[in-house]
Chain A
Amino acid sequence: MRHLKLIWLLAAKDLRIEYRSRQAFLTTLFFAVLILIVFNFAFDPGSASTRDASPGILWVALLFPGMIQLNRSFQSEMEEGTLQGIVMSPLDRGVFFLGKLVANWVFLLAIDILILGVFVIFFNFSLEPGLLWVFLLMFLVGGGFTAVGTVFAAMVSNVRIREVLLPILIFPIIVPIILAAVNATREVLIHNDFSALSRWLQLLVAFDVIFLAAGFLVFDYVVGE
């Protein structure tokens, strides 16, 4: 129980810092909207094939800003040197990992919901029942993405090329959840086909569980000696 409280304290700290300035939130949101707009210019807005491609566009608009935010999440630790303090404290490194993870996950979900709204407007979707399933997908994708991403963001926090290195490290690993997210979104929103949805959801849950556990176990070696 104490661990849960600690995780919540750590996450709340990060979220509170962010809430006070809202700088990262707004710029990340803006970046995501920009991506949606650029893709609307890149593709022919009216055609059916663009509509078919739109789930992919949505998830690109969510994942790339997500990377930026992951890098940022360790910035304060890096700048203030608090990482050493955490290592020296009796805090369980796994708890620290989960705290960072929860903060990143919540942040990402907040962005996701707003971007979904913009997406619906830009790509002319109506408010349909499938959207609730998309929320669930965002929740699950957020979990796996932040699990893998928090580990790697901690690893690259002191590297000069971390802005480009983090996507290079993360993207190959999260291919399964990209596939699951885009295909499930497409089936649900465009084809109104819910038959294969459970399979994609299972994949996402399995991915989340495996990499949450792996991240938790491995974070000790990333942060400590």
Chain B
Amino acid sequence: MWLLVPLYVLGVVALWAAFIHAPTERQMGEVQRIFYFHVGAAWTAFFAFFIVFVAGILYLWRRSPFWDEFGAASAEIGVVFTTIVLTTGPIWARPIWNTWWPWGDPRVTTTLVLWLIYVAYFILRSSLPEGEKRARFSAVFGIIGFIDVPIVFLSIRWWRTIHPIVITRTGNRLEPEMFQAMIIAVVAFTFLYFALLFLRTGMRLQHTVAEEMAHTLRERSE
């Protein structure tokens, strides 16, 4: 798989950049280095959901099972990356802001809602038998879910101005090396996402084919 070579290279470079190239943050210390993985995973998580949205539309338009598996694969990767974001976030936040979870922060809480929508997507899928209906409903839910995400973000932002958050954000002045490390990490995560997406979609499609073959064989042997 041609994507894997640049992915490995980027992975090593990103690790080097995050741990060695970037300087230690003055106020936060070493724990700040989590930021590089956090941002990379966060951007990819939201992008993955966008792909679920697009795949949903394409499925409803084309009715090809490929788009259903593509969307489901993207959602799988998305939920994993969102979990990474939601776990690295509090790990970073607790020593810095003295709180595990800042509810008023729109990005944090929107990511939580995004995670909820992803998980709901899979609970919905698991409750339906495999087939056209499941693909249709997943597509619809993916579309409605994605439309909702910007509205959720705005509503939490408005909530925040009424309940000011206790933590004030430290300035976002990044040293050039830090900025480079962040960009490299983001690119690395994006490559990782696409590699996983294509691999996973292929696996899901092959799984479907294998199931059909097993079914046919079972029928023939009766």
Contacts and interface: CB of A to CB of B under 8 A. Distances in A.
Interface of A: 148, 151-152, 155-156, 159-161, 165, 168-169, 171-173, 175-176, 179-180, 183, 187, 196, 199-200, 203, 206-207, 210-211, 214, 218, 221-222, 225
Interface residues of B, number: 29
B140 A169 contact: no
B178 interface: no
A203 B155 contact: yes
Contacts of A176: 148, 151-152, 154-155
Contact of A173 (B119, B139, B148, B156): B148
B200 interface: no
Given A156-B124, A156-B127, A173-B145, 8 more contacts: A172-B113, A175-B113, A176-B152, A196-B162, A199-B158, A203-B151, A203-B155, A221-B140
Nearest to A173: B148
A26 B147 CA distance: 35
Interface-centre pick from A155, A171, A203, A214 (highest chain B CB count, 10 A): A155
A173 B144 contact: yes
A172 B120 contact: yes
B143 A218 contact: yes
Contact of B140 (A159, A171, A196, A222): A222
Interface-centre pick from B113, B152, B162 (highest chain A CB count, 10 A): B162
Contact of A183 (B148, B152, B162): B162
A132 to B, nearest CB: 21
Interface of B: 60, 113, 116-117, 119-120, 123-124, 127-128, 132, 136-137, 139-141, 143-145, 147-148, 151-152, 154-156, 158-159, 162
A155 B144 contact: no
A183 B103 CA distance: 14
A175 B117 CA distance: 11
A78 B147 CA distance: 29
A224 B55 CA distance: 19
Given A172-B145, A199-B158, A203-B158, A218 B140 contact: yes
Contacts of A148: 144
A156 B120 CA distance: 12
Contacts of B113: 172, 175
Contact of A179 (B120, B137, B156): B156
Contact of B151 (A159, A207, A222): A207
Contacts of A199: 158
A151 B139 CA distance: 13
Interface-centre pick from B139, B143, B145, B155 (highest chain A CB count, 10 A): B155
Contacts of B145: 172-173
Nearest to A222: B140
B162 A151 contact: no
A165 B117 contact: no
Given A165-B127, A172-B116, A196-B162, A155 B137 contact: yes
Given A159-B128, A203-B154, A207-B151, A221 B141 contact: no
A152 B147 CA distance: 15
A141 to B, nearest CB: 13
3 closest A-B pairs (Cβ-Cβ)? A176-B155, A172-B116, A172-B117
B154 A214 contact: no
B118 to A, nearest CB: 9
A176 B162 CA distance: 15
A151 B145 CA distance: 12
A221 B139 contact: yes
A66 B117 CA distance: 20
Contacts of A172: 113, 116-117, 120, 145, 148
Contacts of A211: 144, 147
Contacts of B120: 168-169, 172
A151 B144 contact: yes
Interface-centre pick from A148, A207, A218 (highest chain B CB count, 10 A): A218
Nearest to B121: A169
Nearest to B151: A176
B141 to A, nearest CB: 7
A206 B141 contact: no
